[in-house]
Amino acid sequence: MNMWNAYVAPVRVMSDLVKCVARATSDVGAFIQSPIRTRQRKMNHVETEEQFKTAIAADQITVASFSAPWCGSCKQMKPKVEALATELSQATFLKLDAEELEELLEEIEVESFPHFRVYKSGELLAEYTGTKFEKVEEFIRANVQ
């Protein structure tokens, strides 16, 4: 009988391993399909002046985030602002690149980055320039709530 245990034991281990892999694979599938993974970011990339003017004319709060590719603070703040945009779903969040929309930013006098503006129905309600996320978050929450 001991001779058979030498052959059966590895089969049991393999069987347990196969079950474990199958369970892990099904868990991965569930994870990939979970709402957290499929939720889209709420930041809308603005590519034209027309898109910007249409977006801020809406009858809801719109937060515009102005940044530049060379701005280190903008890069650090980006994921935090995106998370805030996802959380504050009652507002529309826009992201505008200074180099893509240089003429527009000159026209509306945005000169430093990161810069944030809050609009409703085409009207500028508030604006803030700053590099500390805590202050930016406070500004956005105060104007979106």
Q: Where are the domains of the chain?
A: 2-37, 41-144
Three-state SS letters, 38-82: HCCCCEEECCCHHHHHHHHCCCCCEEEEEECCCCHHHHHHHHHHH
The tens digit of pLDDT for each residue in 69-112 reads 999 999 999 999 999 999 999 999 999 999 999 999 999 999 99
pLDDT value at 120 more than 60: yes
According to the model, what pLDDT value does residue 42 have?
81
As a whole number, mean pLDDT of residues 124-141 equals: 98
Q: Which one from 74, 105, 110, 144 is the annotated catalytic residue? A: 74
Residues 41-144, CATH architecture: 3-Layer(aba) Sandwich (3.40)
According to the model, what pLDDT value does residue 89 have?
93
Q: Which one from 43, 61, 71, 98 is the annotated catalytic residue? A: 71
| Residue 74 annotated in active site | yes
Contact 92, 58 (CB under 8 A): yes
According to the model, what pLDDT value does residue 145 have?
82
Residue 5 or 88, more confident: 88
The tens digit of pLDDT for each residue in 18-73 reads 454 445 444 434 433 433 333 455 899 999 999 999 999 999 999 999 999 999 99
| Residue 20 annotated in active site | no
pLDDT value at 115 more than 70: yes
